[in-house]
Amino acid sequence: MAKHTYKFCFGPWNISEGQDPYGPPVRTPQTFDWKLAALKKLGYDAMMFHDDDAVPDVSSKSDAQVRKETRELRKKLHDAGVAAELVAPRLWFDPRTIDGAYTSNDPQCRRYAIERSLRTIDIANQLGTKLIVLWLAREGSYIRESKNARQCVDYLVEAINRMLAYDKKIRISIEPKPNEPMDHAYIPTIGHALALAQLTSDPERVGCLIETAHAILAGLDPADEIDFAMSFGKLWSIHLNDQNGLKFDQDKPFGSANLRVAFNQVRALERNGYGTRGEYVAFDVHPFRPTKPEHWLAHLENSRRTFLKLVQKARTFDEKQARALIRDRNYADLDQLVIEHLLGK
């Protein structure tokens, strides 16, 4: 197995204030500078951004203003020695995306979504990254009859093609999620994302981002999603976290709900050499709501720590013994080999 080192990343939204649909924030927001310093202190290498994390209120600002603020951010990152991993258009907050962004029934709203995405590309270029992420949050429906799903595939392809044509160097990673905020999303799994890529004008530049919780919500094993995406050479980023079954999207610390599922994700990353082409391991995790301000970074520190411990577990797993048990079709003892390896001495 490859013995490379990993580079780590999180987004400003991962130092969150604890609001949920049933209650307000419970921690006072920290400034961006505080978050950047925290990222450095924790030994992370890069930050991931929404367009409006980079330039707050981006939609209401002129191109010149957006350029100015992005330049300032670029300098901050440069001074801190922190890279920008990716930029993602936040297409789910604005009133114009109330009924979807690229798949809205309203042509003016669809136009807004595409224009905003092109601006995201400008921001990414200025921040020195070529990776654009599309979490297609509102591309789906609450009731089937409200949209024409066949037409929506065309809309998605059209939007992606516009981005690919706008900048010949960018790569787009689709981050699938089967539900939430929608009842059913149009691109629920990695299979859907990679199939959609084939319909675009430049399939080679359209890949994916796997999030553990999203795969689990789709009833899939995230490790198999990793192997599948990497068979196509298309896993360009990953959001590791955890999820306790088919509930709301929990974004728990990595390994929190199911250590064995986490182990298998790390094993899949290891065997595919994830990270050797510059990819980052990102944690899309949130603090538990009762978290006190003084413990605010623990979920990020712990996720990375668990990840690194599981890398050691993957590298010290008795592969020879496992192969012998597989040859003997003795899956009961293979199961126990994994359990005892994870339990340790």
Residues marked active site are found at 50, 53
| Strands 140-141 vs 184-185: parallel, antiparallel or unpaired | antiparallel
Q: Specify the residue, 211 or 270, whose C-beta has the smaller distance to ligand GLO.
A: 211
Q: How far is the CB of 301 from ligand GLO (least distance, A)?
A: 19
Q: Which does 267 bind (CB under 5 to 8 A by kind): Mg ion, ligand GLO, none?
A: none
Phi first, then psi, for residue 236 (nearest 5°) are -100, -10
The nearer residue to ligand GLO, 9 or 223, going by C-beta atoms, is 9
When the beta carbons of 69 and 175 are compared against Mg ion, the nearer one is 175
Q: Which residues bind ligand GLO (CB under 6 A)?
A: 50, 88, 133, 135, 175, 177, 211, 239, 249, 284
Q: Of Mg ion, ligand GLO, none, which one sits near residue 133, judging by CB under 5 to 8 A according to partner kind?
A: ligand GLO
CA 111: distance to chain centroid? 25
Residue 163 binds which entry of ligand GLO, Mg ion, none, with Cβ cut-offs from 5 to 8 Å by kind? Answer: none
Query: Rounded to 10 degrees, what is the CA torsion of 304, 194, 205, 173?
Result: -30
Q: How far is the CB of 30 from Mg ion (least distance, A)?
A: 20
Scanning the chain, the segments in alpha helix (DSSP H) are 32-41, 51-54, 63-80, 107-127, 149-166, 190-199, 212-217, 222-231, 259-271, 298-316, 319-327, 331-343
Residues that bind Mg ion (CB under 5 A): 211, 239, 284
Q: Which does 69 bind (CB under 5 to 8 A by kind): Mg ion, ligand GLO, none?
A: none
Least distance (Å) between residue 212 CB and ligand GLO: 10
Q: How far is the CB of 175 from ligand GLO (least distance, A)?
A: 5
Number of H helices, E strands in the chain: 12, 10
Answer yes or no: are the C-beta atoms of 12 and 32 closer than 8 Å. Answer: yes
